[in-house]
Structure 1
Amino acid sequence: MCGIVGYIGFRDAYPILIKGLHRLEYRGYDSAGVALLNTDKELSVYKAKGRVNDLEEYVKDKDISGTIGIAHTRWATHGEPSNANAHPHYSQTESIALIHNGIIENYAVLKAELLKKGYKFQSSTDTEVLVQFIEYVQNLNNCDLFSAVQIALNQVVGAYAIAIVEKGNPDQIIAARKSSPLVIGIGEGEFFLGSDASPIIEYTNKVIYLNDEEIALIKRNDEPKVFTISNVETTHEIKELELNLSELERGGFPHYMLKEIYEQPQTLKNCMSGRVNVEGTNITLSGIIDYKDKFINARRIIIIACGTSWHAGLIGEYLFEEFCRIPVEVEYASEFRYRNPVIYEDDVVIAISQSGETADSLAAIELARKAGAFVYGVCNVIGSSIPRNTDSGSYTHCGHEIGVASTKAFTAQVTVLTMMALAIAKEKNTIEESRYLDLIKELQNIPAKIEKILEHDDKIKQLSKIFTYAQNFIYLGRGYSYPIALEGALKLKEISYIHAEGYPAAEMKHGPIALIDNEMPIVAIGTNNNIYDKVVSNIQEIKARKGRVIAIINEGDEDIKKMADHYIEIPATEECLDPLLSCIPLQLLAYHIAVNKNRDVDMPRNLAKSVTVE
């Protein structure tokens, strides 16, 4: 979940590293640090608790010269955020500096052995244990650093992406990964490292993605060499990045989150491009076509995901069951992997992840594959671990999402799941042709309808002022709107720190109704569908108890408008596509409330974008 950046070449390393840390700060922002080798081959480590700006302030009077270095921005796992626990970590002799993303599970055993041998520790992190252990192995075997890293990693249990530099050796960086992403950028006479492509794209679009249990030796003026931890040399195809530098800038918006909310009309067009034909008569997903028999003959579909992606999976459950007539189970990946699930060889497992690096989802994928199931990935990041560990899949093509609270990635996931359901239904003949064509046509209309909703942003901004200091929220929805109630509540929790819960509206009277009084805001999604009358009844139950209702309704709905204290109108659409519209005002409401509360919208406390640890 932390951010790693590295550089070796002919330029000054520090400016590149700092810019890279700013680009990666969405991955972790508890502390930051940098290690540099200067022209005298001296190794300097500077680090500070807080944001990257705090690190920049700290090094103002320090020697930051050198053309090789590594840097890190942290999301705390072992040890609280502090200067001592920040990365990079020195070895005991301060001859090695290491940065690390992941968790070393057997660190306590290793640390106990090192303590017996007289090693002292300056932090409470598992990472310092790793760098100390590597130095111990190097001294014990009288070997070079690369060999010591190989030997040490064979005795390490856990997940890691690491980068290491050594005093007196200004011509190499050693990097390794297992269950945590690491990318090597290939420039002209220079090389870059990153947890993802964002710190690299400004300098090169050519990259190598390391695989699990691989170690790279990156030497100045030489091609990177990659070996397994068993010392078998491997070859890698150099990939070209599709990321645009403009995606990493705010483009005049005050926050990345607001920019990404406003990008959704275009990102959904991108998601559909090349998949929905121009005439609007067919959906083509190569990942489905190539394995259509797997879907046609599937006993059931199991969707595994975490957080916002899990909410997208719930919508997928409705879609696949309605149109494909395949039973669906939606599982939290973190629970699925530990409960000895029953998986059949004719099951289809769909793994959904924005980053493609979610640790729990990757472990669940491994479990499903061992059971013989067909695994399909839905992911945004090209070349990430989930696409490389699944049998087939679809990219969401929504562009780089920097705001920690997901917005455009969510709607892109729902769009991909919608296209998958319709494509499979067509192959299974479980949907009438006229219905199939109507839904494709309406799916193409969704971006324009989102644009209409965004025109109401000022109204939602004013509405947010009324509820900025609420202590709790309840979100209610039924059918396809229930997952949106969950997602709306999650957005508010993530960025405003207001407690919020989502419920199926009918379940309110089975407990949550006890919470309702004249201080409780209730967001009710009351768009026109086949259970509209039931939702109206639920709203009446709330009003009878003096609850304050904010209703999401379709344009022209006068019935709920009369009952609600406040309302936000959205265009009407097909019921199965309604989540793509009803989520937009909830994203904006959460955003504006958080801004009113002066929260750090893009980097909310305790969270990070890519959850690469359990």
Structure 2
Amino acid sequence: MNGIVECKGLEKFEHRGFKVLYKGSIENKQELRDWLLEEGYTLNGEKDIELVAYIIDYLYNGNLTEATRKAQRKIKGSYGFAITNASKAEVVATSNNHPLVIGLGDKQNFIAFDLSSLLSYTKKCCLINNGEICILTPENIVIVSPTGEVINKEEFQVSWDGTMDKGKFEHFMLKEIYEQPDGFKTNLSGRIKNNKVKIEGLELTLEIVKSWKKIAIVACGTSYHAGLIGKGVFENLLHIPVEVEIASEFSYRAPLVDEETLVIVISQSGETADTLVALREAKKKGASVLAITNTLNSTINREADYGVYIWSGPEIAIASTKAFTMMLLAEYLLGIYLGQIKGSISEEKANMLLENIYKLPETASKILAEATQYQKIAEKYYQKENAFFIGRGFDWPISLEGALKLKETSYIHAEGYAAGEFKHGSLALVTEETLMVALCVQQSTYEKTLANVKECKARGAQILALALEGDKEVAKIADDVIYIPRINNFVAPILTVIPLQLLAYYISKARGCSIDQPRNLVKSIVIE
């Protein structure tokens, strides 16, 4: 298909001279099939992409743009497609509730359904909004509205500096894990002056900050785990209640948010469909919305009232690593920023936190320098088929994230639990074949976590513990211990997750898995 970047995760289909690239989900599929059958059209396939091709073929009268416009009026759902006909040297593309990006090159132009796919070809782009139709040739681009008026689009330059090759690393996931110390430096650069946090583009007043009586954090997957850490950060620094919601549930339970609520949405891509729906629901109810994302000019950033970028650069591996830690750092900086405006955080506490945050690049580098121990541990445990991650306090959300990293890359069944909850039923699953990863970093709950670990050990589980340097007690119980440098416990979650990322990587490698592209998964979920 001339001029189209054929991205991984896209469906491709050819039918009667039409070639289609498609991504998304059609909601009124049966209605459309019934309509075509009533019109006497023969249907041979069941897939959404086939249905798009059939509809275009039926509506086509020599004008592909007009056929696309008519098709778009009929198709309901979250989708994007690009289509060409063998008789014409043009590609027509459109989308609905789905990202669509045009890349501008030298005598060549590109279509993609996410921004990162274009970066190997061009960094000069423009965004296509819902319902708009783009007609591409190698030399020209025309964008029209749903009613046919030509639209002049503003171009922008993507500022990501990250390279799209693996460099000296075997996989993108490992490369991105090792990019975290530099990512911390980038995020801190220019954001702290005279021990005051300043976030570019964020100019909030005391009146605005004080008007927010509660915070609701809404996200999916890894971003949801970041939100759970954010809950503890914001409640501690702002002294207001914080709820954390799974985005796919938020909009369907009549959420209690209003003009006195700050809704924080977190999405690496800025295009996550469930999170975008939640954002729109929150704004309908009058809430202020702040987006934490990694993608400039994403839909979520454009629709939010405020934005904080995590500046982690392009993340290619499906399993998120550096974006997660940069989300956490963004939450800490945002919490201190709002707390300093509100006066809810003392100067002494802010200085202490910032001092520890400044240590992150150095301490993360120390963890990464010990990679050989993770390879040895992976060789010991890679044949396990069940693993549980437990922790209390801030260690609990990190246990959820550690379990997610292991399951999505190695296909080992892994679950994260609040350590105190594990005995309420899940303890029945523990056998001598169970791997128990125990996070023992948070000191305020250390003794209770250790007691939970002993319960699992007594039932035959093999214990892999994660603890602070110098912890001798946990070594008496665990089969293996991974130590991280000592750092203030409030900031520790940003570091605690890095060993779990390395563990997932090396176990997956030992099992021979497709680390960067795990089965059944895509990087950005753009359908509900």
TM-score, with structure 2 as normaliser: 0.96
Name the SS of the counterpart of 1:289 in structure 2: coil
Contact kept, 8 Å, 1:282 with 1:440, in 2: the verdict is: no
Counterpart Cα distance in 1 of 2:305 and 2:70: 32
Counterpart Cα distance in 2 of 1:435 and 1:535: 27
Alignment of 1:282-361 (within 5 A): 282-290=196-204, 293-361=207-275
The CA deviation at 1:287 is 4.6
Which is worse superposed, 596-605 or 126-135?
A: 126-135
Counterpart Cα distance in 1 of 2:99 and 2:205: 28
The CA deviation at 1:196 is 2.6
Name the SS of the counterpart of 2:163 in structure 1: helix
The CA deviation at 1:370 is 0.9
Counterpart Cα distance in 2 of 1:520 and 1:361: 35
In 2 relative to 1, CA 165–506 (structure 1 residues): closer, same or farther, beyond 3 Å?
same
Which is worse superposed, 194-203 or 411-420?
A: 194-203
The CA deviation at 1:89 is 3.3
Q: Tell me if 1:231 matches 2:153.
A: no
Identity of aligned residues (%): 37
Counterpart Cα distance in 2 of 1:133 and 1:610: 27
In 2 relative to 1, CA 146–431 (structure 1 residues): closer, same or farther, beyond 3 Å?
same
Counterpart Cα distance in 1 of 2:276 and 2:116: 22
Name the SS of the counterpart of 1:249 in structure 2: coil
Q: Tell me if 1:163 matches 2:85.
A: no
Q: Tell me if 1:145 matches 2:64.
A: yes
Which is worse superposed, 399-408 or 98-107?
A: 98-107
In 2 relative to 1, CA 89–103 (structure 1 residues): closer, same or farther, beyond 3 Å?
farther
Aligned equivalent of 1:84: none
In 2 relative to 1, CA 286–197 (structure 1 residues): closer, same or farther, beyond 3 Å?
closer
Name the SS of the counterpart of 2:74 in structure 1: coil
Q: Tell me if 1:385 matches 2:302.
A: no
Counterpart Cα distance in 2 of 1:106 and 1:341: 27
Structure 1: runs of 5 or more not aligned: 1-5, 9-16, 29-72, 75-86
The CA deviation at 1:444 is 1.1
Aligned equivalent of 2:55: 133
Contact kept, 8 Å, 2:395 with 2:442, in 1: the verdict is: no
Counterpart Cα distance in 2 of 1:466 and 1:368: 47
Aligned equivalent of 1:240: 157
Aligned equivalent of 2:179: 263
The CA deviation at 1:375 is 0.7
In 2 relative to 1, CA 255–574 (structure 1 residues): closer, same or farther, beyond 3 Å?
same
Counterpart Cα distance in 1 of 2:219 and 2:205: 22
Contact kept, 8 Å, 1:377 with 1:393, in 2: the verdict is: yes
Counterpart Cα distance in 2 of 1:129 and 1:517: 49
In 2 relative to 1, CA 221–465 (structure 1 residues): closer, same or farther, beyond 3 Å?
closer
The CA deviation at 1:7 is 4.5
Contact kept, 8 Å, 2:103 with 2:118, in 1: the verdict is: yes
Aligned equivalent of 2:499: 585
The CA deviation at 1:266 is 0.8
Structure 1 letter corresponding to 2:310: T
Structure 2 letter corresponding to 1:89: E
- 1:470 pairs, out of 369, 384, 389, with 384
Q: Tell me if 1:217 matches 2:135.
A: yes
Counterpart Cα distance in 1 of 2:182 and 2:360: 10
In 2 relative to 1, CA 292–202 (structure 1 residues): closer, same or farther, beyond 3 Å?
farther
Kindly provide the CA deviation profile for residues 530-574 of structure 1, in whole angstroms up to 9, marking residues without a partner as x.
222222222222333332211101111111122211100101111
The root-mean-square deviation of aligned C-alpha atoms, in Å, is 1.7
Kindly provide the CA deviation profile for residues 480-526 of structure 1, in whole angstroms up to 9, marking residues without a partner as x.
11100111111111111111111111122222222223322111111
The CA deviation at 1:118 is 3.0
- 2:35 pairs, out of 102, 108, 113, with 113
- 1:88 pairs, out of 13, 37, 40, with 13
Q: Tell me if 1:250 matches 2:166.
A: yes
Counterpart Cα distance in 2 of 1:446 and 1:124: 51
The CA deviation at 1:233 is 3.1
Aligned equivalent of 1:273: 189
Name the SS of the counterpart of 2:473 in structure 1: helix
Alignment of 1:412-491 (within 5 A): 412-491=326-405
The CA deviation at 1:356 is 0.9
Aligned equivalent of 2:428: 514
Counterpart Cα distance in 1 of 2:88 and 2:204: 50
Counterpart Cα distance in 2 of 1:229 and 1:380: 30
Counterpart Cα distance in 1 of 2:38 and 2:460: 66
Aligned equivalent of 1:154: 73
Name the SS of the counterpart of 2:423 in structure 1: helix
Aligned equivalent of 1:186: 104
Aligned equivalent of 1:31: none
Shift >4 Å, 4+ stretches: none
Which is worse superposed, 176-185 or 350-359?
A: 176-185
Counterpart Cα distance in 2 of 1:388 and 1:235: 18
- 1:611 pairs, out of 510, 525, 528, with 525
TM-score, with structure 1 as normaliser: 0.83
Counterpart Cα distance in 2 of 1:203 and 1:505: 47
Which is worse superposed, 113-122 or 442-451?
A: 113-122
Contact kept, 8 Å, 2:431 with 2:461, in 1: the verdict is: yes
Which is worse superposed, 202-211 or 489-498?
A: 202-211
Counterpart Cα distance in 1 of 2:388 and 2:120: 43
Q: Tell me if 1:201 matches 2:125.
A: no
Aligned equivalent of 1:104: 26
The CA deviation at 1:192 is 1.4
Kindly provide the CA deviation profile for residues 245-300 of structure 1, in whole angstroms up to 9, marking residues without a partner as x.
x52101121111111111111112112222123x6x12111454246543332121
Name the SS of the counterpart of 2:98 in structure 1: coil
Contact kept, 8 Å, 2:196 with 2:340, in 1: the verdict is: no
The CA deviation at 1:199 is 4.2
Contact kept, 8 Å, 1:107 with 1:130, in 2: the verdict is: no
Counterpart Cα distance in 2 of 1:333 and 1:578: 26
The CA deviation at 1:347 is 0.7
Structure 2: runs of 5 or more not aligned: none
In 2 relative to 1, CA 180–89 (structure 1 residues): closer, same or farther, beyond 3 Å?
farther
Q: Tell me if 1:526 matches 2:443.
A: no
Name the SS of the counterpart of 2:344 in structure 1: coil
Kindly provide the CA deviation profile for residues 71-130 of structure 1, in whole angstroms up to 9, marking residues without a partner as x.
xx34xxxxxxxxxxxx1332xxx1322211111211221112212333223432112212
Kindly provide the CA deviation profile for residues 20-77 of structure 1, in whole angstroms up to 9, marking residues without a partner as x.
54xx43xx2xxxxxxxxxxxxxxxxxxxxxxxxxxxxxxxxxxxxxxxxxxxx34xxx
Counterpart Cα distance in 2 of 1:439 and 1:243: 29
Contact kept, 8 Å, 2:119 with 2:164, in 1: the verdict is: no
Counterpart Cα distance in 1 of 2:17 and 2:492: 59
Counterpart Cα distance in 1 of 2:287 and 2:152: 29
Structure 1 letter corresponding to 2:472: E
Kindly provide the CA deviation profile for residues 136-172 of structure 1, in whole angstroms up to 9, marking residues without a partner as x.
2234xxx6221221122112211221111122211x2
Counterpart Cα distance in 2 of 1:286 and 1:532: 38
Which is worse superposed, 307-316 or 288-297?
A: 288-297
